[in-house]
Amino acid sequence: MTARALVGLLLWACAAAPPPVVSPGESPAQGPERPTASDPRVAPVPPAQGAKPLAPEQEPEFEELTVPGHRPAIVSAPPGSDRRPLLVAAHGAGDRAEELCAFWQAHIGRHAFVLCPRGVPMNRSPDTGWFYRHHYALGAELVAALDALGGAHPRVDPEGLVYMGYSQGATMGLLFTQEHPSRFPRLLLVEGGFDDWNARAARRYAAQSGAGVVLLCGIAHCADRAARARGMLERAGVAVRFEHVRGGGHTYVGAMGERAAAHLRWLVRDDPRWGGQPGEGLRSSQRLMN
């Protein structure tokens, strides 16, 4: 191979493999691991706007839900005609709602609705990832998306919903949801949401029907702070679980995803709507419970 051919090959390889998007404040080594377009967890979103009901014989699928004043949210609707519970999942900075919804659809898609607020593009190209401008923006989008979901799918039951946030979705989501514990009583916070608990917030959460909090960490920075937050929550009387998945990394898939699914089962343990069997993925994770 000539030198000119070798240089051409190197230039082609660099162009074919763009660098990963890294969330603000994260080093490239700790950037979120995101499924690729070829990953079976990622499914295309239909181009049609607005949610549409599913026939009982259909498998769960993704829908774009029109949310007034915001970008369309992503919804996974379970088949059937009976009322079903709800999991709301907010992604990290630089991620996409489709990918996080795909992960949870794989675990609970036949047993509950999954609603994923989209946020806004990080720059002019949506392909570079999405984020939430601040917790007020995320809160407003959550409320609007919940209202839109109830209108499009009257059989969704938002009472006692589970809020799952990853990274920025956990940090900013906590700042909003802890102010409304009766509406967001179950929190599953992955790699975020550990620095904004204090004694007053924990007592308010316990007093206003806060049913349970999970703090799940894959890196030491998160684990050190989440352990302190657990202490405050326990002293306030909140049911809380904390776990450091050593070597899990700053992500919500892999070992972290398995543990998140297992802890979700604990969060809904006293909710008969889940029937004790919230999806094949959660059943397979039952053996991982502490």
Q: What angle (nearest 5°) sits at the alpha carbon of residue 265, between those of residues 260 and 271?
A: 140
Q: What is the CATH number of the domain that holds 117?
A: 3.40.50.1820
The structure's pTM equals: 0.76
Domain assignment present for residue 144? The answer is yes
Domain assignment present for residue 8? The answer is no
Domain assignment present for residue 62? The answer is yes
Q: What is the pLDDT of residues 156-188, one digit of tens each?
A: 999 999 999 999 999 999 999 988 888 999 999
pLDDT at 2: 44
Average pLDDT over residues 117-146: 91
Higher pLDDT: 28 or 221? It is 221
Q: What is the band of 128 on the pLDDT scale with cuts at 50, 70, 90?
A: confident
CB 202 within 8 A of CB 235: yes
Number of structural domains in the chain: 1
**Domain coverage including residue 198:** 58-288
Average pLDDT over residues 199-221: 91
pLDDT at 208: 85
For residue 34, pLDDT over 50 is answered with no
pLDDT at 127: 74
For residue 52, pLDDT over 90 is answered with no
For the ranges 1-5, 53-57, 64-68, which has the lowest average pLDDT?
A: 53-57
What mean pLDDT value characterizes the chain?
Answer: 78
pLDDT at 131: 94
Q: In 3D, which of 96, 89, 114 has the Cα closest to residue 36?
A: 96
CA pair distance 220, 243, nearest whole angstrom: 11
CB 47 within 8 A of CB 72: no
CA pair distance 117, 70, nearest whole angstrom: 9
Query: According to DSSP H, which parts of 69-214 are helical?
Result: 97-108, 135-152, 168-177, 199-207
DSSP, res 112: S
Give the full edge-to-edge strand order of the sheet including 86-90: 61-65, 73-77, 113-116, 86-90, 162-166, 186-190, 212-217, 240-244
CA pair distance 43, 230, nearest whole angstrom: 36
Average pLDDT over residues 28-42: 35
Domain assignment present for residue 210? The answer is yes
Higher pLDDT: 72 or 128? It is 72
User: Which class for 16: exposed (0-12), middle (13-18), buried (19 or more C-beta within 10 A)?
Assistant: exposed
Domain assignment present for residue 44? The answer is no
pLDDT at 126: 65
Q: What is the band of 62 on the pLDDT scale with cuts at 50, 70, 90?
A: confident
pLDDT at 38: 32
Collect all residues with Cβ–Cβ distance below 8 Å to 27 and sequence separation of at least 6. none
Q: Cα(first)–Cα(last) distance of the chain, in Å? A: 57
Domain assignment present for residue 5? The answer is no
Domain assignment present for residue 65? The answer is yes
CB 278 within 8 A of CB 264: yes
For the ranges 93-97, 234-238, 246-250, 285-289, which has the lowest average pLDDT?
A: 285-289
Average pLDDT over residues 108-114: 89
- Length of the chain, please? 290
pLDDT at 124: 75
Domain assignment present for residue 40? The answer is no
Q: Where are the beta strands (DSSP E) in the chain?
A: 61-65, 73-77, 86-90, 113-116, 120-121, 130-131, 162-166, 186-190, 212-217, 240-244
